[in-house]
Structure 1
Amino acid sequence: MYDPSMRVLTVLELLQARESVTGAELARVLEVSPRTVQRYIARLQDLGIPVEGKRGVGGAYCLKPGFRLPPLMFTGDEALSLALGLRALHLLGLGALAPAAHAAGAKLARTLPHALREMVEALEGAVQLDSSPWVVSTDAALLSELLGAVHGAQTVEFRYVSPQSSALTRRVDVYRALHLDGRWYAVGRCHLRNALRSFRLDRMGKLCVLNVTFAAPHDFDALAYLRSTLPPEAPTAPVSVWLDAPPETLQGRVSVWFTQISAEAGGTRLRCTRDDLGSFAAFLLGLDCDFRVDGPPELLDVFERLGARCAARSRSSVSSA
C-alpha cells in the first residue's frame, strides 16, 4: 500500500525532524532493508536534496545545515489534535498507515515553536491508546481508492466474500464510506440487487474504479441507513457477565453490537442488554470458557431451568440404556 515515492518523502521528513538519523533507524521506521534505505537516500540526492553522510549499512544521514521546507503554523489545540489523531489511526484499523503517520508527526513537530512542541509532546506522552481486539484491520490503499471514487461519484467494481455466499463480483455506486464498531463499511446502490446495500471493506478485494459516474442522493445519511439494517434493539434486562478468558481470545466469538467489553481480573467483563435471555444463556455455554453471571437474577433462573432439563435428559438416557 505504501509506494516507494511516499517512503522517499518520509525519509525527507525524518531527516528534517532530527540532526541525524542512522540507516538502521530509517529501515526500522519504514519497515524496509538498510540497502533499500540507501536507494532512498540516493533518490533524494538525485532530486537535489542536500543529504550528507555515509551511505553504508551502518551510516548516519543528515541534511545540509540550513536546509528546511517552509514551516506551517498551528495553535496548541490544533497541534495536539493532529498529534493524537495520528496516534489513533490504529483504532480505525489503519495500522498500515503507521509509516505515513510517523512522517506526519515528524513534520508536525518541525513546524512548532520549541515551547509548544514540548507541551504537545508532554500531553501526548501522558496518553495511552489501546486498540480493541474487535477492530478489524483494513487495507488503507483500498480505502483511499474507494474514497476517491466516492468523491468523484464513480461506480466501483470489486470481489466480495460474505459468510452467506461465495465470492461474487459486485458493482456499486458508493455514496459514503464510514467506520462503525470496529469495521469500515461502504454504503450505496448495488447494481446486482438494484437497492441500497452495505459492504464491509475487509471482505472486499480487487477494487476497480470504473469510468462511469452517478448522482448520489442529496444529504444521504449512511450511518442512519447502516444502523437501520441492524436487528431492532428491544432490551428487557441489563446483563453483566464475567468471562474467564482475556478479550483478545474472544475476537470473532462475541458480537460487539450493543455490547460493552473490557478486560477485568484476568478475564473479560461483558455488559449488554438482551430481550431473549434463553438464547443468551445458550450463547454463553457455547463459548467454552468458565463464566460468572452477576446479573440479572432472571438469567440465573434460565440457567437453573437449563440445568434441570440437562439433568432430566441425562437420567432419561441412563434409564433407557
Structure 2
Amino acid sequence: MTYDPSLRVLTVLELLQAHETVTGAELARTLEVSPRTVQRYIMRLQDLGIPVEGKRGVGGAYRLKAGFRLPPLMFTGDEALSLALGLLALQQLGLSDLTPAAGAARAKLARTLPAALRDTVQALEEAVQFDASPWVVNTDAGLLQRMLQAVREHHTARLGYTSHRREATERRVDIYRVLHVDGRWYAAGLCHLRASLRVFRLDRIASFEVLDDAFEPPTDFDALALVRREQPQRKAYEVSVWLAAPPAELRGQVSMWYTDLCAEGAGTRLRGKREHLSSFAAFLLGLGVDFQIESPPELRAEFGKLAARCAAAQEGSSGLRSIP
C-alpha cells in the first residue's frame, strides 16, 4: 500500500478517532511504515494541536484526549466553491451582522484546503462581485437565531409586532417556518390573536421571546404559498408600464416581487401589482428612462399630484432668499 505523507498523518488521526486506543505496532502495520515513523506522525499531530496521549516506543499505545473529536473538514472542489460562494453571498440575505463571522469562516475554510484548491477559492473570492440589491432589508441575525430556536423546539413565541398599517400589537405565534423572499425575512405560522395563519416580517418585530408552551407543527405546511397568498390582498393595482430600456438594464433596479419584465420593441414591458401608486410613480421618475403608462388610470393621476407638488416646491424655492 502506497501513501502520500499527508494522507498517512490523516489516516493516523482517523484511526485514533475510530478506536479508544491504538498501539504503535497496529499503526505501523496499517500504514506499512516503521514504528519510528509512526512516532513522527504522532508528533506531527501534536504539533498541529491535536491532543494525542500515550506512551511512545515499542508496544506503546496512543489515544485522543477524552471527549475530543475533530469534525471532518475534507471538501471536494465543488463543495469548497459552494461554501465560498455561500459565505460571500451572505450579505445579500440582509444579515450584515454575520459579516465578521463569515470572514472568520472563510479564513478557517482556507486553512483546511489543499494548496491548489485554496488558490482556486481565493481566485473566486477575488473575481466574483455581488451587487447589493436596493430591495434587501437588513435583519437582526440574533432575532433570526432565536426564531429558528422556536421553530426547532416547537415552542410558541411572544412578539411585539408593527403591521403595515403601523398598528403595534403583541402576538403569540406558533412559528412553523422562516423564509427569505424578495429581500425580506418572514416568519409564518399560527397567530393566536387572529386564530389563523399569518405572515410576519422580521424587520417589523420589536421584541421576541420564546415561551415554554409547545405546539405540534403541521406536516404539509407551505410557507411560501402562504406569503404569496397574503401579498396580493394588499397590492390591489395591476400596473402595466412600458420602459425605454432593455430588461437586462432594469434588473436589479426593479423589484421582481409580483413583477414581470418582458422585452417589447426597443424597451421593456413591466407588469405587476403595486399597493402604493404614489411611491411607484416617484420610483418610475427616479429610473431616469422614458416610459409610457398603459394602466391603471390611477397611476396617471398620481403623476398629476406629483407635478402639482413639484410646481409648488418650485414656486416656494423662488421666493427664498439666498443664504450667504
Question: Which of the five TM-score ranges fits, normalised by the shorter chain?
Answer: 0.5 to 0.7
Deviation string, structure 1 residues 3-23 (Cα, Å, up to 9, x no partner) = xxxxxxxxxxxxxxxxxxxxx
C-alpha change, 1:192 and 1:241, in structure 2 (3 Å) is farther
Note if contact 1:156-1:209 (Cα within 8 Å) is conserved in structure 2. yes
Counterpart AA for 2:281: L
Q: Structure 2: where are the runs of 5+ without partners?
A: 1-45, 51-69, 262-266, 309-324
C-alpha separation in 2, matches of 1:163 and 1:128:
34
Q: Alpha carbons of 1:97 and 1:290: their partners in 2 closer, same or farther (altered >3 Å)?
A: closer
Secondary structure at the counterpart of residue 106 of structure 1: helix
Alignment partners' CA distance in 2, 1:162 and 1:111: 46
* 8 Å contact from structure 2 (residues 240, 271) kept in 1: yes
**Larger gyration radius, structure 1 or structure 2:** 2
Q: Give CA deviations for 1:15-54 in whole Å, capped at 9, x if unaligned.
A: xxxxxxxxxxxxxxxxxxxxxxxxxxxxxxxxxxxxxxxx
Match of 1:258 in 2: 258
* Greater mean deviation of Cα atoms: 124-133 or 230-239: 230-239
**1:174–1:187 CA contact under 8 A, matched in 2:** yes
Partner of 2:243: 240
Number of aligned residue pairs: give it: 227
What pairs with 1:98-137 in structure 2 (closer than 5 Å)? 98-137=99-138
What amino acid maps onto 1:96 in structure 2?
D
Task: Give the residue type in structure 2 aligned to 1:258.
Answer: Y
- Mapped partners of 1:166, 1:281: distance in 2: 21
1:141 and 1:273 map into 2 onto residues whose CA distance is 37
Judge conservation of contact 2:258–2:273 (CA < 8 Å) in 1.
no
1:293 aligns with 2:294: no
Q: TM-score, normalised by structure 2?
A: 0.59
In structure 1, the partner of 2:271 is 273
Contact 1:239–1:274 under 8 Å retained in 2: no
Query: Does the 8 Å CA contact 2:241/2:291 hold for their aligned counterparts?
Result: no
2:164 maps to 163
TM-superposed deviation, 1:131: 1.6
Task: Report SS of the residue matched to 1:79.
Answer: helix
- Summarize the Cα distance change of 1:239–1:104 in structure 2 as closer, same or farther, 3 Å threshold: same
TM-fit CA distance, 1:120? 1.3
Q: 1:206 to 1:114 in 2, by over 3 A?
A: same
Following superposition of structure 1 onto structure 2, how do residues 177-196 of structure 1 map, counting pairs within 5 Å? 177-196=178-197
SS in 1 for 2:167: strand
Other-structure match for 2:47: 66
Aligned-CA RMSD value: 3.9
Q: Does structure 1 retain, via aligned residues, the 8 Å contact 2:258–2:272?
A: no
Task: Please tell me the residue identity of whatever aligns with 1:77.
Answer: D
Counterpart position of 1:75: 76
Q: 1:166 offset after TM fit, Å?
A: 3.1
1:3 corresponds to: none
Higher relative CO (CA 8 A, sep ≥ 6), structure 1 or 2?
1
Aligned-partner Cα distance in 2 for 1:93–1:257: 16
